[in-house]
Amino acid sequence: MSRALLIVDVQNDFTEGGALGVDGGAAVARDVTAFLAERAGDYALVVASRDWHLPMSDNGGHFATGSPPDFVNTWPVHCVSGTPGAEYHPDLDVSGVHVHVKKGQGVPAYSMFEGITDSGSGLAAVLTEQGITDVDVVGIATDYCVRASALDALGTGVAVRVLTPLVAGVAAESSQAALVEMKDAGIELVDSI
């Protein structure tokens, strides 16, 4: 078994005070850092993703322009490349991250599998090249990008766990629904780490 840790979108704009801040986002940054400090040896590969939207663009209709966002398909402007909101939260220590993925560059993208690495590869190819058989997923937001990333990971044929103490969601109801959906799809939910 070769396991990877996938850290989804622990960015300033998705934590408290950000354009789309979720309650508990900063705690996820701190807790993932503490978890990695203790458990880095459990992982052959650590991957972190960021929304990295294009400036001066609606990013394929992802950003609401001319009308209020519906918070389903359209969103306020967030995580624009080169802005502080797109950066990793300062409490997330990325010194142990092996691969960085940027997603949503001109198009809507929720799953880190829709992004590309700094070297231009897709994440599925990276996992295959590294011989990864199992992944643990943590990050923000449970009901959107964590959900999409975990389901896409499962679709690549690896075993998937979501470490629930290390995720935060937009809303309680949609986060619970996402957890049920992931479990029903065959993803293991790990409630204690």
Q: Which residues are catalytic?
A: 9, 103, 145
Residues 6+ apart with CB under 8 A from 56: none
In whole angstroms, give the CA distance from residue 63 to residue 74: 5
**168: nearest Cα among 2, 17, 32, 19:** 32
Dihedral through CA 28, CA 55, CA 99, CA 33, nearest 10? -20
- Confirm if 86 and 103 have CB atoms less than 8 A apart: no
